[in-house]
Amino acid sequence: MPCIHESVKMKIRQLLRTGWRHHLHRSSLSSHHIFYVTLGTFCIGVFYCEYLIYFASIWWCSWPALQCLDGQGGEEAPLRAMILADTHVLGPWAHWLDKARREWQMWRSFQTALYLLQPAVVFILGDLFDKADVTSLQQFEEDLRRFRVIFSVPSHIPLICAAGNHDIGFHYKISDKGRSRFERRFVPKSVYRYSLSGMDFVILNSMAFENDGCTMCREAQKLLSDLSRSLNKAEVRPVVLQHFPLYRESDAECSQDDAAPSSEKNISFRPKWDCLSREASQELLEKLSPRALFSGHTHHGCYQEHFLQDGEPAPEWTVASFNWRNKINPSFLMVSVCKSELKVGRCHLPNEHTVFFLYGLLISLIVLGGLIITFRFKASSKLKK
């Protein structure tokens, strides 16, 4: 019996050793599986956060439905205009990582929007650059090169850009050299009429309406008066686009989902800095009789209604910044335009807090996977001993 008992004990020990080896082998395989699953999930997460998320956001945007009638009583497609503002392509003094991050976000957003939405024309309402008002010609050319890469459009889609205070400076610091280099590459005049599909779009240099008798202001006044007489003969009232919004006291009445945060809404606007003066605003309404106005500058969305002398409404949409450096939830406008009416929709880009949250989950997954692999490795090392 004792001999049998000893042989049984030896067999049990042998089985236990074999079982532990098998357990260790399975643990090793599981650790490899965990590593590859964690790595794969992380790569997919980064690909989503840096590429697919823009498709996921813009996919849900759609053009406002609008039926246009042609001159013969039939239907025609509306003109589809994509309007954005305050892109603020960073200048030479910005940190390279900040610059790379913001430019990637804007490039992916803009190119994805072009691909999915297929606009007929794109307007950018000033502050294309962040420091163009103080850069040298060489630095300006470099910023311009990057701007054209980010906001490149096919040859059949016009890209019309208004001047902003970060492009040529506020009124008091505008130089002839700085203004001319911008006008040579974008809109050539302070008051510019652009016609498309039988409709007029008027692009203004907001800083030229200081009304202090400066050379630029006198030129703008003459151009405005000439255009006013010309528009009196037009069948359709124009759409006005510029950097500064028309006069308003604050953003207190702005209730859009991309409006300023409540902490900023009641801050009073300074005329000629945050918006046009009351006098300049009234002059533009009287001379141009716009059916709609679009502006930027504040970095937040807003809708305001102005009225012409005959009581006709002249609605104004202020477009939020397109740059995540200025706003965590950027957006742009999608406008369907007919000769008789227009409709405005808003397209939201990914919220940066959502991206941070997703990256937080990915980092948590990596840490968890690393802890599991480390625990299994230590456990297997003890068992081998």
Residue-wise pLDDT for 51-75, tens only, equals 999 999 999 999 999 988 876 767 8
172 and 285, same domain (yes or no): yes
Asked if residue 61 belongs to a domain, the reply is no
Residue 61 CB contacts under 8 Å (≥ 6 apart), including other chains: 113, 116, 117, 334, 345, 347, 348
Residue-wise pLDDT for 294-342, tens only, equals 999 999 999 999 999 889 999 999 999 999 999 999 999 999 999 989 9
* Percentage of residues of the chain with pLDDT beyond 70: 88
29 and 142, same domain (yes or no): no
Do the bridges between strand 159-162 and strand 313-318 make them parallel or antiparallel, or are there none, so unpaired? unpaired
pLDDT of residue 1: 46
234 — pLDDT class (breaks 50, 70, 90): confident
Q: Within its chain, how far is the Cα of 224 from the centroid?
A: 31
96 and 19, same domain (yes or no): no
Asked if residue 58 belongs to a domain, the reply is no
* Percentage of residues of the chain with pLDDT beyond 90: 73
228 and 126, same domain (yes or no): yes
213 — pLDDT class (breaks 50, 70, 90): confident
Q: Can you give the residue range of the structural domain that contains 256?
A: 66-350
pLDDT at 111 over 70: yes
Asked if residue 355 belongs to a domain, the reply is no
336 and 189, same domain (yes or no): yes
Q: Among 81-85, 107-111, 148-152, 170-174, whose mean pLDDT is lowest?
A: 170-174
Half-sphere exposure of 264 (CA within 13 A, CB side): 14
344 and 372, same domain (yes or no): no
Report the alpha-carbon distance of residue 105 to residue 215 in Å, rounded: 39
Looking at the 3D structure of the chain, how many domains does it have? 2
33 and 83, same domain (yes or no): no
Asked if residue 56 belongs to a domain, the reply is no
115 and 150, same domain (yes or no): yes
Question: What is the average pLDDT across 371-381?
Answer: 68
275 — pLDDT class (breaks 50, 70, 90): very high
Residue 344 DSSP SS3: strand
15 and 97, same domain (yes or no): no
pLDDT of residue 75: 81
Report the alpha-carbon distance of residue 218 to residue 157 in Å, rounded: 33
Question: What is the average pLDDT across 126-152?
Answer: 96
Amino acid making up residue 333: L
Asked if residue 53 belongs to a domain, the reply is no
pLDDT of residue 6: 66
Q: For the chain, give the mean pLDDT.
A: 89
Residue 171 CB contacts under 8 Å (≥ 6 apart), including other chains: 207, 208, 210, 212, 214, 272
Q: Among 187-196, 233-242, 364-373, whose mean pLDDT is lowest?
A: 364-373
130 and 8, same domain (yes or no): no
Asked if residue 72 belongs to a domain, the reply is yes
174 and 234, same domain (yes or no): yes
Residues listed for the chain: 385
CATH number of the domain that residue 200 is part of? 3.60.21.10
Residue-wise pLDDT for 12-51, tens only, equals 565 445 554 454 445 444 667 777 777 888 899 899 999 9
384 — pLDDT class (breaks 50, 70, 90): low
362 — pLDDT class (breaks 50, 70, 90): confident
238 and 344, same domain (yes or no): yes
Asked if residue 124 belongs to a domain, the reply is yes
Asked if residue 356 belongs to a domain, the reply is no
211 — pLDDT class (breaks 50, 70, 90): confident
